[in-house]
Amino acid sequence: MENAGSAPPVLTARRAGVLGCAQCGKVHLPGPERCARCGSVLESRDHTSLQRVWGWMFAGLVVYVPANVYPMLRTSMLGKTTDSTILGGVVDLIHHGSIGIAIIVFVASIVIPVAKFIAIAYLALSVTHRVRLSPGKRQHLYEVVEFIGRWSMIDVFVVAILSSLVRLDFAATINPGIAAVSFALSVAFTMLSALSFDSRLIWDASEEEDA
Amino acid sequence: MTDPRPATPEVSGPRRSIWRNLSLVWLVPLAALLVTLGIAWQTWAERGTRIEITFENAAGVTPEETTIRFRDVIVGMVEDVTFAEDLATVVIGARVDANVAESLPENAQFWVVRPEVSTSGITGLSTVLSGVYIEAAFRPEQGGSAQNFRGLDETPLVRPGMDGTRITIRADEGTQFSAGAPIFLQGIEVGQIETPRLLERGNGVIVDAFIQAPYDRRITTATRFWNISGFSVNFGPGGLDLSVNSIASLIRGGLAFDTVVSGGQPVQQGYAFDLYENEEAARDSLFSETIANAVELTTEFDESVRGLEVGSSVTFQGLRVGRVTDLGAFIEDTADGQEVRLRATLSIDPRALGLDEESPQADTIAFLSEAVQDGLRARLAAQSLFNQSLVVELVEIPDAEPATFGIFAQDAPLLPSVPSDLPDVTATAEGLFQRINDLPVEELLDQAIDTLAAVENLADSDGLRTAPDALVGLVNDARGLIGGEAAQALPEELRATVAELRGVVEDLRAADAVGQLVAALEAAEEAADDVAGVTTEFEGVTEGVPALIEELRALTQKANTLDLEGFVASAGSFLDGANRLVDQPSTRALPADVSALLDEARQALEELRAGGVVENANATLASARDAAAAVEEAAVTLPQLSARIEQLLGETETVITGYSANSSFNRETVAALREVRSAAEALTRLARQIERNPNSLLFGR
- How far B82 CA lies from chain A's nearest CA (Å)? 21
Parse chain A into domains and list their residue ranges: 1-44, 48-210
Q: Are A13 and A44 in contact (CB under 8 A)?
A: yes
Q: Is the dihedral of CA B605, B608, B609, B610 positive or negative?
A: positive
Going by C-alpha positions, the residue among B328, B381, B371, B331 that lies closest to residue B348 is B371
**Complex-level ipTM:** 0.77
C-beta atoms of B65 and A58 within 8 A: no
C-beta atoms of A56 and B32 within 8 A: no
* Confidence category of residue A145, pLDDT binned at 50, 70, 90: confident
CATH 1.20.140 for domain A48-210: yes
B23 touches chain A (CB under 8 A): yes
Average pLDDT over residues B378-389: 73
Query: Coil, strand or helix: which one is B274?
Result: strand
A6-20, B55-69, B504-518, B533-547, range with the lowest pLDDT: B533-547
| Structure confidence by residue, pLDDT tens digits, B657-672 | 555 555 565 667 677 7
Rounded Cα distance between B228 and B248, Å, is 11
Q: Which of A42, A49, A51, A197 to mutate to test the interface with B (most CBs of B within 10 A)?
A: A51
Strand ranges, E, within B202-336 = 205-212, 223-227, 231-236, 239-244, 255-259, 271-276, 295-301, 313-316, 319-334
Taking CA–CA distances from B43, the nearest residue in chain A reads A70
Q: Which of A10, A15, A43, A189 to mutate to test the interface with B (most CBs of B within 10 A)?
A: A15
- According to DSSP, the residues that pair with A6 across neighbouring strands are none
A chain contacts of residue B23, beta-carbon cutoff 8 Å: 48, 51-52, 55
| Structure confidence by residue, pLDDT tens digits, B631-650 | 556 556 555 655 665 665 56
B429 touches chain A (CB under 8 A): no
Query: Coil, strand or helix: which one is B228?
Result: coil
H helices of B238-289, where?
A: 247-252, 279-284
A chain contacts of residue B131, beta-carbon cutoff 8 Å: 80
* Confidence category of residue A4, pLDDT binned at 50, 70, 90: very low
Going by C-alpha positions, the residue among B159, B193, B197, B200 that lies closest to residue B71 is B159
User: What is the average pLDDT score of chain B?
Assistant: 72
Out of B25, B32, B36, closest to residue A52 by CB: B25
pLDDT given at position B278: 77
A109-113, A114-118, B217-221, B553-557, range with the lowest pLDDT: B553-557
Out of A14, A51, A60, closest to residue B26 by CB: A51
- According to DSSP, the residues that pair with B257 across neighbouring strands are B225
User: No. of H helices and E strands in chain A?
Assistant: 9, 5
Taking CA–CA distances from B38, the nearest residue in chain A reads A66
pLDDT given at position A131: 75
Average pLDDT over residues B353-365: 74
Does A30 sit behind a cis peptide bond, omega within 30 degrees of 0 on the bond before it?
Answer: no
User: H or E stretch including B54?
Assistant: strand B49-55
Q: Are B157 and B147 in contact (CB under 8 A)?
A: no
Residue A44, phi then psi, degrees to nearest 5: -65, -45
Query: Coil, strand or helix: which one is B79?
Result: strand
pLDDT given at position A76: 81
C-beta atoms of A65 and B36 within 8 A: yes
Exposure letters B179-207 (e unless 16+ CB within 10 A, then b): bbbbbbbeeeebbbbbebeeeeeeeebbb
| Structure confidence by residue, pLDDT tens digits, B481-493 | 666 666 666 667 7
B chain contacts of residue A56, beta-carbon cutoff 8 Å: 25, 28-29
pLDDT at A110 over 70: yes
Taking CA–CA distances from B2, the nearest residue in chain A reads A11
B385 touches chain A (CB under 8 A): no
Q: Return residues 31-90 of B near A (CB < 8 Å).
A: 31-33, 35-36, 39-40, 43, 65
Interacting residues of B594 by C-beta distance below 8 A, sequence separation 6+? B468, B587
B26 touches chain A (CB under 8 A): yes
A chain contacts of residue B12, beta-carbon cutoff 8 Å: 44
Long-range interactions of B501-509: CB distance < 8 A, separation 24+: B501/B624, B501/B628, B501/B690, B501/B691, B501/B694, B502/B691, B503/B632, B504/B628, B504/B631, B504/B632, B504/B635, B504/B687, B505/B687, B505/B688, B505/B690, B505/B691, B507/B632, B507/B635, B507/B636, B508/B635, B508/B638, B508/B683, B508/B684, B508/B687
Going by C-alpha positions, the residue among B270, B271, B249 that lies closest to residue B183 is B249
Exposure letters B459-496 (e unless 16+ CB within 10 A, then b): eeeeeeeebeeebeebbeebeebbeeeebeebeeebee
Interacting residues of B7 by C-beta distance below 8 A, sequence separation 6+? A17
Q: Return residues 41-70 of A near B (CB < 8 Å).
A: 43-45, 47-48, 51-52, 55-63, 65-66, 70
C-beta atoms of B10 and A11 within 8 A: no
C-beta atoms of A11 and B3 within 8 A: yes
**In whole angstroms, how far apart are CA B254 and each of B120, B178, B212, B246, B449?**
12, 8, 16, 9, 53
A88 touches chain B (CB under 8 A): no
B128 touches chain A (CB under 8 A): no
Average pLDDT over residues B380-393: 74
Going by C-alpha positions, the residue among B381, B383, B372, B375 that lies closest to residue B420 is B381
Out of B8, B25, B40, closest to residue A51 by CB: B25
- What predicted TM-score, i.e. pTM, was given to this entire model? 0.44
A–B interface: beta-carbon pairs under 8 A: 84
C-beta atoms of B43 and A70 within 8 A: yes
pLDDT given at position A84: 82
| Structure confidence by residue, pLDDT tens digits, B265-286 | 788 888 888 888 777 777 777 6
Average pLDDT over residues B108-122: 80
Q: Are A69 and A179 in contact (CB under 8 A)?
A: yes
B76-80, B221-225, B653-657, range with the lowest pLDDT: B653-657
